[in-house]
Chain A
Amino acid sequence: DSGVTQTPKHLITATGQRVTLRCSPRSGDLSVYWYQQSLDQGLQFLIQYYNGEERAKGNILERFSAQQFPDLHSELNLSSLELGDSALYFCARRLAGVRQPQHFGDGTRLSIL
């Protein structure tokens, strides 16, 4: 059990639409990370939040945005969806401490038709 719950597990939508992916880390986890993994590719870091504030940004498109709420759950918003946005989207948590590893949820599989 990674302690990270992601919903929904699967999402099918059409080009041009907007979706919201949700991540609920274990209670007390201040950090949350979002990653995108396209078919047969590695993990691409999108964005990190710490205690409600954006901490680091990766290769996140302007059509994508995220936020972390006071209860520390996070949402990743994807808009004006394109076929190339089809991917697995992972959320990860990390305990305090620079040498602590990240623990991943099972992801949301997004399919754009």
Chain B
Amino acid sequence: TQLLEQSPQFLSIQEGENLTVYCNSSSVFSSLQWYRQEPGEGPVLLVTVVTGGEVKKLKRLTFQFGDARKDSSLHITAAQPGDTGLYLCAGGSTNAGKSTFGDGTTLTVKP
């Protein structure tokens, strides 16, 4: 069974601070996605990474896929209250159509 562990589970910071959240596994994934979910809404895809060592930037968000494709990180620079939400990582496997989701990191950015 493939598992994804996300840390920290909860994170509360002030506006303007930087932060990093992690997604770790002992399994290798063919791809990894990061989603952001706001209360009462569905997860919204932020990025997909597929190559070991890959780094993708989305404005103030930087995503990195580990060299061995077992882990990933999301770094947010100068966090804003609009970044508040649940951040989920999901790993895709070539052997199955479904993805494995982590339990998420709940981020609160205070003005």
Contacts and interface: CB of A to CB of B under 8 A. Distances in A.
Given A42-B104, A94-B97, A98-B92, A103 B45 contact: yes
7 contacts: A33-B98, A101-B33, A101-B45, A101-B92, A104-B42, A104-B43, A105-B42
B75 to A, nearest CB: 20
A107 interface: yes
Interface string A50-68: 1000011010000000000
A109 B41 CA distance: 10
Contact of B30 (A31, A98, A107): A98
Interface in A76-94: 88, 90, 92, 94
B97 A48 contact: yes
Contacts of A90: 42-43
B111 interface: no
Contacts of B68: none
B98 A106 contact: no
Contacts of B45: 101-103
Given A55-B97, A94-B97, A99-B50, A42 B102 contact: yes
A71 B69 CA distance: 37
Interface of B: 30-31, 33, 35, 40-45, 48, 50, 88, 90, 92-94, 96-104
A106 B42 contact: yes
Contacts of B33: 101-102
B9 to A, nearest CB: 10
A11 interface: no
A14 interface: no
A42 B103 contact: yes
Contact of A99 (B31, B102, B104): B31
A45 B102 contact: no
A105 B45 CA distance: 11
